[in-house]
């Protein structure tokens, strides 16, 4: 192609040769043709290698380092500067981002806790992403999902945008977390993921919440819709009217099992950077959340949630066969669960 253009240029110039000093003119024409030809050829060459060039340019832009000179040196392993594939972080592209994961169990207040965290303008907590089975099919699908989340490329209704300073999600112990703990702990330590354990102290109250919630799955007490979380006292009151009956044959075994899975998780994830939170402590004193913001090194800010607690007051109000339950647990290690009110 370059050659055609070169010849064409030559021809068009030769069409009208002036009559004076033909030798000089010929030399000028040859020189001009040569320069023009080289110019055209260089353009042609540039075009064929455009793909490579643009690749290099991209890499240069992507790898332009962000500085963390004014950061506490000990914190460097825990921050990164994600370059999302799906959007631009714009003016916040050099804001450090921390990775976190909330490890919890169902009906332990993690939904409420997550809405509180997400009310912070710099937090993106993406919900219970591993409730979807194919994401936790094997260790490699888990790690792939984690990479997407931490690169800010995972989109949920809760996810925020370019100025996030902490990104994470909540993960229930029975969603592949214990099963693949080895690979996950290795990943967490390699990537500097901060772990927030959120447990409930009163496992009997947790049991009431589990039984009521699974009853509501088919009873659908709120105008025919099932709700796991509510936003008004009226709705909470409606749901709390149902009093579950607890099978006392298995009560102690079930409580023991819940306790063991929490201890097991703490053991496995002991080597990660972590903090342990109890739902009861946050309910009693929301100022506890300052510890979480400090743990994630986020600017302090008031956090709020629209969620309303469902089962309030003494526990005997919420269990149908209270006397049986009281008798079964009196004198055992779990007696304390009968009394704690909040």
Ligand X SMILES: *[C@@H]1O[C@H](CO)[C@@H](O)[C@H](O)[C@H]1NC(C)=O
Question: Which spans of this chain sit near ligand X (rule: CB under 6 A)?
Answer: 51-52, 92, 95, 121-122, 134, 137-138, 140-141, 163, 165, 222-223, 234-235, 238, 247, 249-250, 270, 299, 316, 326, 330
Q: Is 283 helix (H, G, I), strand (E, B) or coil?
A: helix
Shortest CA distance to 305 belongs to which of 100, 104, 111? 111
Contacts with 219 (C-beta within 8 Å, 6 or more apart), sequence order: 242
User: Among residues 35 and 250, whose Cβ is nearest to ligand X?
Assistant: 250
Could you give the CA distance from residue 328 to residue 334 in angstroms, rounded to a whole number?
10
Q: In whole angstroms, how close is the CB of 265 to ligand X at the nearest point?
A: 12
Sign of torsion over alpha carbons 27, 28, 33, 38: positive
Q: In whole angstroms, how close is the CB of 249 to ligand X at the nearest point?
A: 4
Q: In whole angstroms, how close is the CB of 129 to ligand X at the nearest point?
A: 14
User: Among residues 189 and 261, whose Cβ is nearest to ligand X?
Assistant: 189
User: Among residues 6 and 79, whose Cβ is nearest to ligand X?
Assistant: 79
Q: In whole angstroms, how close is the CB of 140 to ligand X at the nearest point?
A: 5
User: Among residues 19 and 190, whose Cβ is nearest to ligand X?
Assistant: 190
Q: How many CB atoms are closer than 10 A to CB 54?
A: 10
Q: In whole angstroms, how close is the CB of 244 to ligand X at the nearest point?
A: 12
* H-assigned helices in 15-96: 22-48, 50-62
User: Among residues 26 and 257, whose Cβ is nearest to ligand X?
Assistant: 257
Q: In whole angstroms, how close is the CB of 203 to ligand X at the nearest point?
A: 17
User: Among residues 189 and 238, whose Cβ is nearest to ligand X?
Assistant: 238
> Helix-strand-coil percent breakdown of the chain, rounded to 5?
55, 10, 35
User: Among residues 33 and 235, whose Cβ is nearest to ligand X?
Assistant: 235
Q: In whole angstroms, how close is the CB of 330 to ligand X at the nearest point?
A: 5
Contacts with 207 (C-beta within 8 Å, 6 or more apart), sequence order: 246, 254, 255, 258
- Shortest Cβ contact with ligand X: which residue? 163
* Distances in whole angstroms, Cα of residue 222 to Cα of each of 193, 238, 239, 241, 253: 39, 7, 7, 11, 32
Q: In whole angstroms, how close is the CB of 26 to ligand X at the nearest point?
A: 40
Could you give the CA distance from residue 102 to residue 341 in angstroms, rounded to a whole number?
25
C-alpha 85, offset from chain centre: 15
Could you give the CA distance from residue 216 to residue 243 in angstroms, rounded to a whole number?
11
Q: In whole angstroms, how close is the CB of 223 to ligand X at the nearest point?
A: 4
User: Among residues 6 and 204, whose Cβ is nearest to ligand X?
Assistant: 204
User: Among residues 41 and 298, whose Cβ is nearest to ligand X?
Assistant: 298
* Distances in whole angstroms, Cα of residue 340 to Cα of each of 201, 208, 286: 10, 14, 18
Q: Is 95 helix (H, G, I), strand (E, B) or coil?
A: coil
Could you give the CA distance from residue 85 to residue 91 in angstroms, rounded to a whole number?
16
């Amino acid at each position: 192609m370059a050659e055609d253009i070169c010849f064409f240029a030559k021809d068009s110039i030769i069409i009208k040769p002036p009559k004076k000093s033909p030798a000089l003119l010929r030399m000028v024409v040859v020189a001009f043709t040569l320069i023009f030809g080289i110019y055209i050829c260089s353009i042609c060459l540039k075009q064929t290698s455009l793909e490579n060039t643009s690749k290099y340019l991209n890499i240069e832009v992507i790898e332009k380092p962000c500085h963390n000179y004014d950061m506490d040196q000990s914190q460097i392993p825990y921050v990164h500067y994600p370059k999302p594939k799906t959007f631009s972080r714009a003016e916040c592209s050099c804001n450090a981002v921390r990775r976190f994961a909330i490890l919890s169990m169902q009906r332990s207040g993690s939904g409420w806790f997550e809405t509180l965290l997400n009310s912070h303008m710099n937090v993106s907590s993406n919900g219970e992403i591993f409730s979807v089975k194919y994401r936790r099919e094997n260790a490699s699908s888990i790690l792939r999902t984690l990479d997407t989340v931490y690169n800010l490329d995972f989109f949920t209704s809760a996810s925020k945008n370019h100025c996030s300073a902490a990104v994470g999600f909540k993960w229930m112990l029975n969603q592949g977390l214990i099963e693949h703990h080895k690979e996950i702990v290795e990943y967490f330590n390699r990537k500097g993921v901060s772990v927030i354990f959120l447990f409930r102290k009163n496992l009997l109250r947790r049991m009431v919440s589990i039984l009521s919630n699974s009853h509501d799955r088919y009873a659908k007490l709120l105008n025919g819709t099932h709700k796991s979380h509510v936003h008004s006292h009226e709705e909470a009151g409606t749901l709390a009217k149902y009093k579950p009956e607890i099978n006392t044959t298995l009560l102690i075994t079930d409580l023991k099992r819940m306790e063991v899975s929490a201890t097991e998780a703490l053991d496995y994830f002991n080597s990660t950077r972590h903090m342990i939170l109890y739902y009861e402590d946050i309910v009693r004193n929301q100022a506890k959340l300052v510890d979480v913001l400090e743990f994630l090194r986020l600017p302090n800010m008031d956090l709020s949630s629209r969620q309303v607690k469902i089962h309030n007051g003494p526990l005997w109000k919420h269990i149908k066969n209270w006397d049986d339950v009281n008798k079964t647990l009196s004198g055992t290690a779990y007696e304390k669960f009968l009394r704690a009110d909040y």
